[in-house]
Amino acid sequence: MTLSRYGVREWGLATAAAVAIIVWFWPNQWIALSSIFVWIVVAGFFRDPLLRRPATDDTKDLVSPADGVVSAVIDVPSHESVDGPAVIVRIFLSVLDVHINRMPCDAELVHMRHMPGRYLDARTEESARVNESNLLCLRTPTGIRFGVRQVSGAIARRIVCPLRVGDLLSRGQRFGMIKFGSTTELIVPRALVEAILVTKGARVKGGVTILVRLRDSALPS
């Protein structure tokens, strides 16, 4: 376990504030202990587990882009990331979850679109439609198009994604985070889905848990 590089600023501010409060209020041990607790909470939010291994290396399988709980599995008639009907697996991340986003499979970033929006509670269905978001349109080495979408929440007010179009990414690779509560979506072409391996309410682990299995026909023979 280590600190995510995406949280260096917050980690530094929390550390400086905790030290200042402890020094200034040391005779009042309750205040000092409270500052240490807040520091631990901030550090925990920006934790970055090491040595995670995907549950599979099979090119048919797409692993979760985030830690959290599956809040919805839905069909949509069209989605821009796949240019047609799609299946969306939506994951809710509470403030207690690891917030590092990870790549579902080997892929190239072909397009990225940031959309401004509202900051509703990420637990509501409406938030996925109207909140600030960042859509990654990706293509596997075999030419399959899919998407990953980062969605902000009521507390989360900053989506971090340092990628650029043309970047080549590997399965499980870190590609950003959403700070303080959020939603992440995996979007897959409906016609290529063989099986969805999770249901609403399932707890998943980013870069590890298999969410979707593609049809053999989706891959070159």
Residues assigned a catalytic role: 182
- For residue 32 the two structure tokens come to 């000092």
DSSP character string of the chain = -EE-GGGHHHHHHHHHHHHHHHHHHTTSHHHHHHHHHHHHHHHHHTEE--S---S---TTEEE-SSSEEEEEEEEEEEETTTTEEEEEEEEEE-TTS--EEE-SSSEEEEEEEEE--B---TTSTTHHHHB-EEEEEEE-TTS-EEEEEEE--SS---EE----TT-EE-TT-EEEEESSSEEEEEEEEGGGEEEE---TT-EE-TTTSEEEEE-GGGS--
From CA 53, how far away is CA 127, in angstroms rounded?
31
Neighbours of 77 (CB within 10 A): 8
The Cα diameter of the chain in Å comes to 72
